[in-house]
C-alpha cells in the first residue's frame, strides 16, 4: 500500500511505501480502559482519585456479570466438560461458574478402546417430577439441570454401568475484573469498544450527568449489538417438519 507525501520546501510529491504493523496484540489492561472511560466523561487522568478507580472496578465487574447472563451465547466462553459416571448415581454437581449447559452427550465404551457418543436432551423440573421411577437404571436419555447456587445435573434413567462419562458443552461466566497487575479483560477484541462505552455510561451515573449517561448508554447498546452480530457460529440450520400425522393407514 502506498501514499503520497508532499515536500512543501521543494514543492515535489513523493510516493512513500506504507506497511501495516503485522501484529494483533491490542488487548489493553483494565486500567487503560478505565482511563479512556473517564476521559469520555471529560475527567482527565490527573483528576482521578482512588475513589474513582474503586467505582470503576465495581462498575466493570457488574458489566461482566450482566454480559454473562445476557441472552445468547458468548462463544469465547464455551468449553467442553467431561464427568465420569458412576453406576446407580443420578445426580452430579457442576461448577457454579457455568452459566448454562448447551449440548450434552453420554459416552459408552465399545470394548475395543473406542466410544460411542449419544446426545441426551434437557428436561424441566416439572417434567422430571412426573417420572414415577426416578431411581430406575438403564439407558440415559435426558437430564435435568438444577440451576442452584451449587448447581447439579440429574440424569434419567440412572446410569447402569454401561455408560462411562457425561460430556457437555457449557458457557462459563466472564472472569472477574481487576485493576492490579495490569490485568486485561476476559473479552475478545471486537467487544472492547462496547465494554468501554458501557463502563463510561455506568460511571456517568456517579461522576457526570444523567443526559451524558443516557447518550453513552445508547452508544454502548449500539456497539454491543454490532459485536453480538459477529459473535455467532457460521453453520447451516436445517428444519425438517414431521409429516407422519398427515398420512393415514
Is residue 40 located within the same domain as residue 52? Answer: yes
Could you give the C-alpha distances from 237 to 29, 233, 234, in angstroms and in order? 38, 11, 10
Whether residues 154 and 139 fall in one domain: yes
Asked if residue 184 and residue 157 are part of one domain, the reply reads no
Residues in contact with 195: Cβ distance below 8 Å, sequence separation at least 6, in sequence order: 33, 60, 63, 185, 187
- Given a cut of 90, whether residue 62 has pLDDT beyond it is yes
Instruction: State pTM to two decimals.
Output: 0.83
Q: What local confidence, expressed as pLDDT, does residue 12 receive?
A: 58
The mean pLDDT of 42-52, rounded to a whole number, is 96
Residue 155 in domain: yes
| C-alpha gyration radius of the chain | 26
210 in the same domain as 182: yes
Residue 148: its pLDDT value, please? 94
Residues 51 and 168 in one domain: no
Selection from 32, 30, 35 nearest residue 60 by Cα:
30
Q: Which domain holds residue 47?
A: 28-72+175-230
Average pLDDT over residues 74-99: 97
Contact 167, 81 (CB under 8 A): yes
pLDDT tens readout for residues 147-170:
999 999 999 999 999 999 999 999
Does one domain contain both 183 and 152? Answer: no
Query: 63 and 135, same structural domain?
Result: no
pLDDT value of position 246: 47
| N-term to C-term CA, the chain | 71
Distances (CA, A) of 168 to 12, 17, 48, 84, 188: 66, 51, 45, 12, 23
pLDDT by residue (tens digit) across 198-236? 999 999 999 998 899 999 999 999 999 999 999 988 777
Please state the domain count of the chain. 2
Amino acid at each position: 500500500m502506498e501514499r503520497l507525501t508532499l515536500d512543501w520546501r521543494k514543492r515535489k510529491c513523493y510516493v512513500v511505501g506504507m506497511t501495516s504493523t503485522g501484529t494483533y496484540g491490542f488487548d489493553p489492561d483494565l486500567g487503560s480502559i478505565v482511563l479512556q472511560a473517564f476521559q469520555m466523561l471529560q475527567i482527565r487522568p490527573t483528576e482521578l482519585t482512588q475513589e474513582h478507580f474503586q467505582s470503576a472496578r465495581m462498575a466493570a465487574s457488574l458489566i461482566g456479570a450482566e454480559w454473562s447472563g445476557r441472552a445468547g451465547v458468548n462463544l469465547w466462553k464455551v468449553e467442553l466438560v467431561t464427568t465420569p459416571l458412576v453406576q446407580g448415581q443420578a445426580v452430579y454437581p457442576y461448577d457454579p461458574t457455568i452459566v448454562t449447559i448447551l449440548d450434552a452427550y453420554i459416552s459408552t465404551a465399545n470394548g475395543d478402546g473406542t466410544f460411542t457418543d449419544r446426545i441426551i436432551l434437557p428436561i424441566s423440573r416439572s417434567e422430571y417430577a412426573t417420572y414415577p421411577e426416578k431411581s430406575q437404571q438403564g439407558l440415559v436419555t435426558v437430564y435435568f439441570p438444577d440451576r442452584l447456587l451449587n448447581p447439579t445435573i440429574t440424569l434419567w434413567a440412572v446410569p447402569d454401568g454401561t455408560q462411562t462419562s457425561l460430556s457437555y458443552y457449557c458457557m462459563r461466566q466472564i472472569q472477574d475484573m481487576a485493576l492490579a497487575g495490569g490485568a486485561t479483560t476476559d473479552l475478545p477484541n471486537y467487544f472492547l469498544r462496547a465494554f468501554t462505552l458501557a463502563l463510561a455510561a455506568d460511571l456517568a451515573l456517579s461522576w457526570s450527568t444523567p443526559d451524558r449517561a443516557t447518550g453513552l448508554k445508547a452508544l454502548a447498546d449500539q456497539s454491543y449489538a454490532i459485536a453480538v452480530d459477529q459473535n455467532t457460529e457460521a453453520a447451516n440450520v436445517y428444519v425438517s417438519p414431521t409429516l407422519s400425522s398427515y398420512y393415514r393407514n
